[in-house]
Amino acid sequence: MIIKTENLVKEYEAGSQTVKALSGIDLSVEKGEFISIMGPSGSGKTTLMNIIGCLDTPTRGTYHLNGKSVSDLSEDELANIRNKEIGFVFQSFHLLARNSALDNVMLPLRYAGSNKSEALIRSNEALDQVGLSDRSTHTPAELSGGQQQRVAIARALVNKPSILFADEPTGNLDSKTGEDVMNIFKELNSNGQTIILITHEDSIAKQSNRIITIMDGLIKSDIKD
């Protein structure tokens, strides 16, 4: 089991009142799964991803990643987990505008402290995996939306993470390029990559092998095929 959470609760203090973004999530994820998380806006999907992606900490509850409790890790240890174990893909790509595709992909390796020649080889490999090796010197402004998202996927993959998180990765793309991006995810999953993907679209969710629906910070349904 890669991920195991018990009774995860996340509360935000918003002025005088507390907003309960997660009200008690029990979730287990096995290696190699391809999961879609669905649910209405504000139901807590991004909050859940941030917590299991170690970007945020729960108010209550336990979370084990690869069998290890995450709750009592230091900032630096969490940064190290994000660097080595987790890859993020965001709706708005989040590429560094002034850097080339290759430099963007290389960034996690820099934080990992890899040496330069190895970093170059692995970054080029990752770009190759998403079919963009011929665009490595281009900056984001010189790439289409779909290409930018593929660079972001290459960046998420470059450190060979245990889990790939994608928060509405096709949300800013048309259906054709969205399909291309989904094909990359399916390809990666068929090679054993664990993927957790947040989406609003049924057509996207259907392509995964487990659909979790969240409502008001609780898991409403969890369907595997």
Ligand X SMILES: Nc1ncnc2c1ncn2[C@@H]1O[C@H](COP(=O)(O)OP(=O)(O)OP(=O)(O)O)[C@@H](O)[C@H]1O
As beta bridge partners, residue 210 has 35, 224
The nearest distance, CB 117 to ligand X, in angstroms, is: 40
Q: Which of 15, 67, 113, 192 binds another protein (CB under 8 A)?
A: 113
155 binds, among ligand X, another protein, Mg ion, none (CB under 5 to 8 A by kind): another protein
- Residues interacting with Mg ion, by CB under 5 A? 46
As measured in angstroms, the least distance from the Cβ of 223 to another protein is 28
Of the candidates 214, 152, 225, 224, the one whose C-alpha atom is nearest the C-alpha of residue 5 is 214
| Positions in 49-68 near another protein (CB under 8 A) | 50, 53, 55-56
Residue 98 touches which member of ligand X, Mg ion, another protein, none, C-beta under 5-8 Å by kind: another protein
To the nearest whole angstrom, how small is the minimum distance from the Cβ of residue 42 to ligand X?
Answer: 4
Exposure on the CB side of residue 200, measured as CA atoms within 13 A: 11
Residues engaged in binding another protein (CB under 8 A):
46, 50, 53, 55-56, 75-76, 79-80, 82-84, 88, 90, 94, 96, 98-99, 103, 107-116, 119, 155, 159
